């Protein structure tokens, strides 16, 4: 590992990095997009639908940032509104009904901070996902492919296994935000990035993720083939597990238990 | 959860807490100015009115003071007080910060949990502490509240929770973030067991606490004027460059938008809570 944590943050934010849609189109077959939360609207920052993974029906949900400036504008740069989380939950409940495993690709700087988002209950939308995902009785795998920004990322990552791309980051707050609150100096983001322990290696050490996915061939066919194989294999194992929900509970239950 | 307030609140009760309670009856009795109506209130009157002003303003309150006014005398047994925050990230300055805050607040962590009776009704209670890093949620807060929900599920008791928080505690990074999922899973189990959870949102309830257990109650009530939101108002202004609507994120605004059930004045809380507990049969589904 040669890059500093803050360099990782920049890599994770790079708009040339594969986004949610790239993973969907390269890994799955017969993807059929489903739209809307049936409450208010259809959030373009969250893409979701049904598809096949090696012939197995699955539900796929991805936060989509977009690559170009125009795409980023239409996707709100991957910062979901409450309806994005509600769409995701609707699709997850549907997956549970039909016994389909769920795969989430997470890439967001965070849930959108705006007047409309607050008026429509951003906090509640995230809270409901956390609560409901903890007991959905189908396997859930979440892959952090870029930025894992706080509660807005966690709302799609209450899973049986959480994986991170080698240069993805996962953090409770952006390094810039942390530096400006703690040290009243946003330019100290580099130091904050170190202290926050937000790299994939850190997350693995802290017991927050199961797997780090190498990036040497990121975006190439072999990269997606490899990920497809890992997803298929792990889903197969999780489907066999009769203690899936207890293990999911224990997975989070054990984090931060050191106290006493 | 982004912008948390980690400085101690710039509240007139800053040096307050129980230590500020002594009632001085002489003519030099100290007064506090209400930030809402700007009238001066003698301290003894302020305490007699449970830290509320006649204009309706609710002052911030220490967790133990709340427990004192809420619970039936002698009924409160504190639980899980042996759970303390570690420093999982070895975050620069965090140990010192904890030390300072512990000394200043007289508390070990940002939440107090226990089993008690309110208006004669048996329940589990957690009260978050605004004077401990603005009720920020680190691993100890997560662990204490999770343990309380598990205890409540085991003993078939309802949970009453008073929230006040700037959100996740960034000095505990990802570990702090994961507490949102951990507590939520415990709330879900308690809920699936048919048990009642009542949340009382107090000023301010924001960030990761709003985006988890604060919003997960069966019934949500708030104190008048309490700020309840996900993102901080300042962050939203910076992000959107728009003026915020009047009363944005205040309890009244949140009620109007359909996210809480009621706003209840502090002096009516014991009665309201007791009656809600009673109507849920002490939380038990028989």
The per-residue pLDDT for range A96-120, each reduced to its tens digit, is 999 999 999 999 999 999 999 999 9
- How many residues are recorded in chain B? 286
Which chain A residue has the Cα nearest residue B241? A114
Q: Which of residues 98-137 of B touch A (CB under 8 A)?
A: none
- How many residues are recorded in chain A? 260
Q: Do A256 and B248 touch (CB under 8 A)?
A: no
pLDDT at A194 over 90: yes
Residue from B170, B186, B237 whose CB has the most chain A CBs within 10 Å, to mutate: B170
Q: How far does the CA of residue A57 sit from the closest CA of chain B (Å)?
A: 27
**How do beta strands A29-33 and A56-63 pair?**
unpaired
Give the count of beta carbons closer than 10 Å to the beta carbon of residue B93.
12
Q: Do B3 and A181 touch (CB under 8 A)?
A: yes
pLDDT at B52 over 60: yes
Q: How far does the CA of residue A201 sit from the closest CA of chain B (Å)?
A: 12
Domain residue ranges of chain B, discontinuous segments joined by +: 61-283
Give the count of beta carbons closer than 10 Å to the beta carbon of residue B189.
20
Give CA–CA dist B265/B63, Å, rounded.
Answer: 17
Provide the total of helices (H) and of strands (E) in chain A, helices listed first.
12, 8
Is A181 part of a structural domain of the chain? Answer: no
Supply the CATH classification number for the domain B61-283.
Answer: 3.90.226.10
Is A67 part of a structural domain of the chain? Answer: yes
Residue B3's pLDDT band, with cuts at 50, 70 and 90, is: very low
Of the given ranges (B76-85, B208-217, B249-258, B274-283), which has the lowest mean pLDDT?
A: B274-283
Is A185 part of a structural domain of the chain? Answer: no
Per the CB < 8 A criterion, the answer to whether A166 and A212 are in contact is yes
Of the given ranges (A15-29, A201-215, B32-46, B229-243), which has the lowest mean pLDDT?
A: B229-243
Per the CB < 8 A criterion, the answer to whether A157 and A85 are in contact is no
The H or E element containing residue A253 is helix A244-253
We report the CATH number of the domain holding residue A68 as: 3.90.226.10
- Closest by alpha carbon to B21, among B32, B7, B37, B8? B32
Give CA–CA dist B146/A33, Å, rounded.
Answer: 37
pLDDT at A60 over 90: yes
> Mind listing the pLDDT tens digit for each residue in A125-163?
999 999 999 999 999 999 999 999 999 999 999 999 999
Angle of CA points A231, A234, A238, to nearest 5°: 130
Out of B16-25, B80-89, B261-270, the most confident range is: B261-270
**What is the pLDDT at residue B238?**
84
Out of A182, A195, A248, name the one closest to residue B6 (CB): A182
From residue A55, give the alpha-carbon distance in Å to each of A51, A104, A228, A232, B270: 9, 18, 12, 10, 58
**How do beta strands A211-213 and B31-33 pair?**
unpaired
pLDDT at A218 over 70: yes
Q: Do B170 and A172 touch (CB under 8 A)?
A: yes
Out of A118, A130, A174, name the one closest to residue B181 (CB): A130
Which chain A residue has the Cα nearest residue B211? A123
The verdict on A199 touching B (C-beta cutoff 8 Å) is no
Q: Please count the structural domains in chain A.
A: 1
The verdict on B230 touching A (C-beta cutoff 8 Å) is yes
Is A93 part of a structural domain of the chain? Answer: yes
Q: Do A196 and B173 touch (CB under 8 A)?
A: yes
Of the given ranges (A122-136, B11-25, B27-41), which has the lowest mean pLDDT?
A: B11-25
Q: State which residues form the domain around A28.
A: 5-170+199-253
DSSP state for residue B225 in the 8-state scheme: T
Q: What percent of chain B has pLDDT over 70?
A: 88
The contacts found for B50-59 with CB under 8 angstroms, 24 or more apart, are: B50/B266, B50/B267, B51/B13, B51/B266, B52/B265, B52/B266, B52/B267, B56/B224, B56/B225, B56/B265, B57/B224, B57/B225, B58/B202, B58/B203, B58/B223, B58/B224, B58/B225, B58/B226, B58/B265, B58/B266, B59/B11, B59/B12, B59/B13, B59/B32
Per the CB < 8 A criterion, the answer to whether A133 and A92 are in contact is yes
> Mind listing the pLDDT tens digit for each residue in B179-191?
999 999 999 999 9
Residues of B in contact with A193 (CB under 8 A): none
pLDDT at B11 over 80: no
pLDDT at B84 over 50: yes
Residue B57's pLDDT band, with cuts at 50, 70 and 90, is: very high
Q: Do A127 and B210 touch (CB under 8 A)?
A: yes
Q: How far does the CA of residue B204 sit from the closest CA of chain A (Å)?
A: 14
**What is the pLDDT at residue A258?**
66
Which chain A residue has the Cα nearest residue B92? A195
> Mind listing the pLDDT tens digit for each residue in B232-262?
888 898 888 888 999 999 999 999 999 999 9
Is A193 part of a structural domain of the chain? Answer: no
Q: Across all residues in chain B, what is the average pLDDT? A: 90
**How do beta strands A140-149 and A56-63 pair?**
unpaired
Return the SS3 of A70.
Answer: helix
Out of A123, A158, A208, name the one closest to residue B174 (CB): A208
Give the count of beta carbons closer than 10 Å to the beta carbon of residue B241.
7
- Closest by alpha carbon to A176, among A205, A149, A202, A203? A149
The verdict on A177 touching B (C-beta cutoff 8 Å) is yes
Give CA–CA dist B235/A114, Å, rounded.
Answer: 8
Residue A47's pLDDT band, with cuts at 50, 70 and 90, is: very high
Per the CB < 8 A criterion, the answer to whether B261 and B219 are in contact is yes
Q: How far does the CA of residue A198 sit from the closest CA of chain B (Å)?
A: 7
pLDDT at B168 over 90: yes
Q: Mean pLDDT throughout B150-174?
A: 97
Per the CB < 8 A criterion, the answer to whether A168 and A216 are in contact is no
């Amino acid at each position: 590992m040669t890059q500093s944590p803050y360099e990782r943050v920049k890599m994770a934010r790079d708009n040339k990095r594969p986004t949610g849609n790239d993973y969907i189109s390269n890994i799955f077959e017969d993807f059929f997009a489903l739209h809307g939360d049936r409450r208010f609207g259809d959030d373009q920052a969250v893409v979701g639908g049904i598809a096949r993974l090696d012939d197995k029906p699955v539900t796929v949900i991805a936060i989509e940032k977009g690559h170009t400036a125009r795409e980023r504008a239409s996707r709100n740069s991957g910062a979901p509104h409450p309806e994005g989380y509600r769409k995701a939950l609707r699709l997850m409940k549907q997956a549970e009904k039909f016994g389909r495993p769920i795969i989430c690709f997470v890439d967001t700087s965070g849930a959108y901070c705006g007047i409309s988002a607050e008026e429509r209950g951003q906090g509640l939308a995230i809270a409901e996902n956390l609560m409901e995902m903890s007991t959905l009785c189908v396997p859930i795998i979440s892959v952090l492919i870029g930025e894992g920004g706080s509660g807005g990322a966690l709302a799609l990552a209450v899973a049986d296994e959480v994986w991170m791309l080698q240069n993805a980051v996962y953090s409770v707050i952006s390094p810039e935000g942390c530096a400006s609150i703690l040290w009243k100096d946003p330019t100290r983001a580099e130091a904050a990035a170190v202290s926050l322990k937000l790299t994939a290696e850190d997350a693995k050490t802290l017991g927050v993720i199961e797997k780090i996915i190498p990036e040497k061939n990121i975006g190439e066919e072999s990269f997606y083939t490899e990920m497809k194989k890992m997803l298929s294999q792990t889903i197969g194992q999780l489907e066999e597990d009769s203690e899936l929900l207890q293990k999911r509970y224990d997975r989070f239950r054990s984090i931060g238990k050191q106290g006493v | 959860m982004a912008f948390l307030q980690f400085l101690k609140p710039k509240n007139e009760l800053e040096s307050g807490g129980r230590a500020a309670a002594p009632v001085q009856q002489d003519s030099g009795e100290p007064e506090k100015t209400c930030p809402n109506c700007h009238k001066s209130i003698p301290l003894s009157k302020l305490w007699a009115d449970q830290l509320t002003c006649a204009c309706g303003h609710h002052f911030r309150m220490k967790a133990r003071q709340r427990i004192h006014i809420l619970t039936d005398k002698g009924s409160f047994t504190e639980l899980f007080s042996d759970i303390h925050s570690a420093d999982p990230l070895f975050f620069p300055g965090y140990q010192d910060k904890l030390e300072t805050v512990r000394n200043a607040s007289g508390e070990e962590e940002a939440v107090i949990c226990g089993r008690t009776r309110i208006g004669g009704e048996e329940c589990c209670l957690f009260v978050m502490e605004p004077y401990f890093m603005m009720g920020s949620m680190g691993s100890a807060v997560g662990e204490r509240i999770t343990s309380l929900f598990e205890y409540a599920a085991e003993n078939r008791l309802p949970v009453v929770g008073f929230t006040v928080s700037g959100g996740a505690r960034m000095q505990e990074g990802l570990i702090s973030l994961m507490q949102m999922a951990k507590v939520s899973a415990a709330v879900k189990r308690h809920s699936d067991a048919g048990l009642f959870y009542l949340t009382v949102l107090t000023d301010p309830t924001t960030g990761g606490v709003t985006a988890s257990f604060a919003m997960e109650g069966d019934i949500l009530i708030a104190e008048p004027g309490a700020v309840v939101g996900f993102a901080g108002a300042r962050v939203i202004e910076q992000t959107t460059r728009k003026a915020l609507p009047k009363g944005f994120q205040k309890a009244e605004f949140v009620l109007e938008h359909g996210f809480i059930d009621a706003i209840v004045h502090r002096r009516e809380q014991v009665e309201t809570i007791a009656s809600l507990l009673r109507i849920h049969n002490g939380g038990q589904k028989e």
